[in-house]
């Protein structure tokens, strides 16, 4: 149709392409806005989680600090017995863990306490539970338990830092949220122009279509008359 030479047809082809490109851009904009909204939602959840972790870790870190100030020397209770010698405590810890494994004692089992924290074993994993009930980490030895306790302050600071960073990231995302498609007015205008062109082309082509229909009908009528004439000549005449 575009090769017909009609400038209106060519204009319609170009306009239709413009509308197609604008609609594709509008869909991309909608996807981007949906992605931003989802990122904001997930970020808000993560901020709450990080702030909760920071608060809990700060509380247990304060507990450790107070405990160390009160009892600066090493002390751990393993299987009901208190050890002030780190090497003996580690040996008792390993023996208790081995006993649980050899006797196939499964589920969460109490190993002892360290700095007021409960040490429990669940399968091959050793978990450390703070006095406030919060699980602060896991390992596989008494040494890993000590490392977890030493790192609680740093863990609290890291969680607070992550929450603050997420808050800044969310502010940037909120700045891009809720934006309307900048070419919304243009796409509406182009659609209206396309509708007007379609109406014009339909009106313009209507008489031609009617003429073609009439010509075809006339041809069929002439053919029918000719066939009837031929049929009458071939039919036998009655005797006189």
Q: Are 15 and 193 in contact (CB under 8 A)?
A: yes
Handedness of CA 26, 28, 32, 34 (dihedral sign): positive
Distance CA(164)–CA(158), nearest Å, equals 10
The dihedrals phi and psi of 108, each to the nearest 5 degrees, come to -70, 120
pLDDT at residue 90 in the model: 94
Query: Strand 117-122 relative to strand 135-139: parallel, antiparallel, unpaired?
Result: unpaired
Is the model's pTM score more than 0.75?
A: no
Q: What pLDDT was estimated at residue 217?
A: 57
Residues 111 and 96 sit within 8 Å (Cβ to Cβ): yes
Provide block-wise average pLDDT over 10 residues at a time, the chain (240 residues). Answer: 71 92 95 96 94 92 91 93 95 91 85 92 85 85 90 92 94 93 93 91 71 59 61 56
Let me know: does 137 contact 148? Beta carbons within 8 Å.
yes
Report which DSSP code applies to 4: G
Q: Residue 220: its pLDDT value, please?
A: 63
Q: What is the model's pLDDT at position 100?
A: 86
């Amino acid at each position: 149709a575009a090769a017909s030479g009609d400038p209106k047809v060519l204009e319609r082809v170009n306009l239709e392409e413009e509308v197609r490109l604008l609609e594709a851009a509008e869909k991309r904009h909608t996807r981007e806005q949906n992605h931003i909204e989802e990122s904001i939602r997930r970020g808000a959840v993560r901020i709450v989680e990080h702030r909760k972790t920071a608060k809990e870790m700060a509380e247990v870190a304060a507990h450790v600090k107070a405990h160390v100030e009160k009892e600066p020397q090493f002390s751990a209770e393993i299987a009901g017995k208190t050890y002030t010698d780190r090497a003996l405590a580690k040996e008792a810890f390993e023996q208790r863990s081995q006993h649980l494994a050899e006797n196939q004692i499964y589920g969460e089992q109490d190993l002892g306490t360290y700095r007021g924290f409960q040490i429990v074993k669940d399968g091959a994993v050793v978990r450390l539970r703070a006095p406030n009930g919060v699980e602060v980490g896991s390992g596989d030895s008494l040494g890993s338990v000590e490392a977890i306790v030493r790192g609680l302050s740093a863990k609290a600071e890291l969680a607070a830092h992550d929450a603050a960073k997420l808050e800044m990231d969310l502010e940037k995302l909120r700045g891009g949220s809720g934006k309307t498609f900048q070419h919304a007015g243009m796409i509406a205008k182009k659609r209206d122009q396309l509708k007007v062109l379609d109406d014009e082309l339909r009106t313009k082509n209507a008489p031609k279509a009617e003429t073609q229909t009439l010509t075809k009908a006339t041809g069929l009528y002439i053919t029918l008359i000719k066939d009837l004439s031929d049929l009458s000549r071939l039919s036998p005449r009655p005797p006189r």
